[in-house]
Structure 1
Amino acid sequence: MDPAARGFAWRASDAPNIDGLPPRPYPRLEYGARCCSASRALALCRRSRASHVTLLRLSVWWFPHSFQRWVREEDPSELGVRFGFVLMLGLTAVAAWVGLEAILGAFLAGMLFAYVFRETGVLETKLTALGQGFFVPIFFINVGVTFEWSAIGNLSTLGRSLMVLGAASLLAKLLPTLLLMFLGLRLRSVLAGALLLATPLTLLVAIAALGREMGVLDANMSAAVIFLAIATGVIFPTLSKLIAPPVPKPTLAEGELPPFASDAGAI
């Protein structure tokens, strides 16, 4: 049979007969791994990935000075940041290829990076600053650009929705924090803490965007959640500052300077 017609199949009969011995029962392989089960392929991928991770971890342990540059503060090439982004994009592409959420691949990249480099030093600060200062604002800009002003509808309906959602958000944080009164906290401190906890600005915007994309929230409810994030981000911290008890100033001994004054004198 023509190999092209067989699909590049290799059967046991194709194995050579050496010294009169019966042919070795080779497993049947076909082009494109059509005869290889998905579970076997995943198992091979796991073993290969685990071996590469172990090899990289041993390399970091055996040659610490070579890899120390990746987490060094004075590195002008920023090799650690580059490697982190390459790893994140690679695992994100793998997650999208197998049909998983892209954010899961990025999360696994962070876990893998933390496993290989146990002491990241300032690299974690660099990645956090880059993510919070560049990528997160892009998400919020996209939410603002795609916001549908026509979904606001009646202002009275929007106001009622904001009051209901705001009260629910505040009660969800207030009821658990009341238990802190058994630890000796005053009611004013508990209320101030509940108001601060009830202002998840970024989380509410993300919930509105994801709910709208998945079809769980309609346009009106998504707009109400976004306006709730804006309103609670302004009102609740202001109320918390008004309710919170004043912080007592530390008493200084005679002749003792405040910490900032002593630091300035040392400089």
Structure 2
Amino acid sequence: MENLIFLAHVVLLMVLSPILSRLFRIPTPVVEILLGSLAVWLGFLHVDNDVFRNLAKIGFFYLMFLAGMEIDIPRFLHYKERYLKKTLLYFFCLYSLSLIIFLVFNLSYVYIVAIPIISLGMVMALINQYGKEVQWLEFSLLIGVVGELLSIGALVVFDGAMTHGLGWDFAKSILILISVFFSSYILFRLLKIIFWWYPGLKSLIMPHDDTMQQSMRVSIGLFFVLIATMQWLDIDMVLGAFIAGIFISNFFAHKTELPHQLSTFGFGFLVPLFFIFVGTTLNLETVFTKTIFTHALWIVLAMVGIRMISSFVAYYSSLKFWDTVFFSLSTSMPLTFLVAIATIAMKNGAIGEEEYASFIVASLIEGIVIMILIQFLMFLFQRADRKSEEKI
């Protein structure tokens, strides 16, 4: 009963968030984060509810599942041919600048992993709001896919090194990760051949006349099976959700309404749970501690700065000035991955409690301030475009 009452409070925040979002012209995920933190501060919610924590985790996995569904492999390969060198240059600059910051300021090894990390979570929230037809968001999705895979790899390596040291257990984690990537590639090629020989299988698995919601059941089933597989292999479960989304979008393209159905379910229920939970992890009193807040601002400045420099070096010739700025800002909100790295580091004694709090505050500053900044600038540009069209 206690859990049901708690979830009723959370659902109330979910209902309020889109109303407040429209009222104040602030992105819905930002409103959900702010409502979560405010609810804890006012005593409306408590942070020690395991059911809520687990549902929020599923919400994050589902967000990555939807991110995987945005990946059109043929289109991605087309982009790879056109922008492979630029993408490699971007990541070379990103990691090189992170290494320079680490060496110059004599920081912990945690920062080499944390500063360049990229997540698709907030990029997906932007795509849900503006659509992936926006050019800079197309680039964000491309970089986000590569960055997500690199970040998952970095998390596995970092967690293995922190937990097991540089021994056999660490080597085993790396080998399992490589095996997962290789097995996914082989399975993808194998299924492509099978569906080419037997095209009717696609309609059998996901029929056109789907009165029993079989397509939804298969999609959700694959989502949970691959998450469970990654958990069994002791690999970040995000990877399983991401791969499930890629498989569904690329093998069942005939189900044109399916992505919309899955997205509606996700952004209508599971994903808001995740963003509200992120808000509940923020102690508003901690934010106003001068030492922690200052340290958090330096982390944000470093993360945004290296992305801005890398974006202009790699993509300025392909994007306009403001599109390059938007692109660099959209990749500066790793949020949960930054929280995950800080949690692993503190658990293993690599950083202290104050430094951990700084990382948490930095991730939330990025998620809130940068999202509001993008929203505000997009509003100004869209209004300017409308005025230009009216004059014409």
Identify the residue that residue 137 of structure 1 maps to in structure 2. 272
Deviation at 1:80, TM superposition (A): 0.6
Displacement of 1:61: 1.5
Quickly say closer, same or farther: Cα 1:204–1:106, change in 2 above 3 A: closer
Tell me which protein shows more helix as a share of its residues. Answer: 2
1:176-208 deviation per Cα after TM superposition (whole angstroms, max 9, x unaligned): 5546765795xxxx247515641558x342234
Alignment CA distance shift 1:178-1:144 (3 Å):
closer
Instruction: Report the counterpart of residue 111 of structure 2 in structure 1.
Output: none
For the Cα contact (< 8 Å) 1:60–1:117, is it kept in 2? no
Structure having greater relative contact order (Cα 8 Å, sep ≥ 6):
2
- Name 1:249's counterpart in structure 2: 389
Q: Distance in 2 between matches of 1:184 and 1:113?
A: 31
Does residue 168 of structure 1 match 2:333?
no
Q: Which amino acid aligns with 2:365?
A: F
Name the stretch that deviates more: 205-214 or 241-250: 241-250
Q: Kindly provide the CA deviation profile for residues 5-27 of structure 1, in whole angstroms up to 9, marking residues without a partner as x.
A: xxxxxxxxxxxxxxxxxxxxxxx
Kindly state the Cα deviation for residue 132 of structure 1 after the two structures are TM-superposed: 3.0
- Letter of the 1:105 partner, please give it: G
The residue number in structure 2 matching 1:3 is none
TM (norm. structure 2) is: 0.40
Count of aligned residue pairs for this structure pair: 197
- Stretches of structure 2 that go unaligned for 5 or more consecutive residues are 1-178, 347-354
- Decide which of 362, 367, 370 is 1:229's aligned counterpart: 367
Listed as ranges, the matches of 1:5-154 within 5 Å are: 57=195, 61-62=199-200, 66-67=204-205, 69=207, 72=208, 75-149=210-284, 151-152=286-287, 154=289
| Percent identical | 17
Alignment-mate amino acid for residue 172 of structure 1: I
Q: 1:125 to 1:215 in 2, by over 3 A?
A: same
TM-score between both structures, scaled by the size of structure 1: 0.55
Deviation at 1:118, TM superposition (A): 4.0
> What is the letter of the counterpart of residue 207 of structure 1?
F
Instruction: Give unmatched runs, 5+ long, in structure 1.
Output: 1-41, 253-267
Distance between the aligned counterparts of 2:366 and 2:319, measured in 1?
32
Cα offsets for 1:53-108 (capped at 9, x unmatched) = 58973796236665563xx4x74532111110011111221221222222222223
Amino acid at match of 2:298: V
What code does the residue aligned with 1:89 have?
F
Larger Cα-atom Rg: 1
Tell me, in whole angstroms, the C-alpha distance in 1 between the residues paired with 2:229 and 2:252. 22
Aligned to 2:325: 194
CA RMSD of aligned residues (A): 4.2
Distance 1:61 1:133 in 2: 33
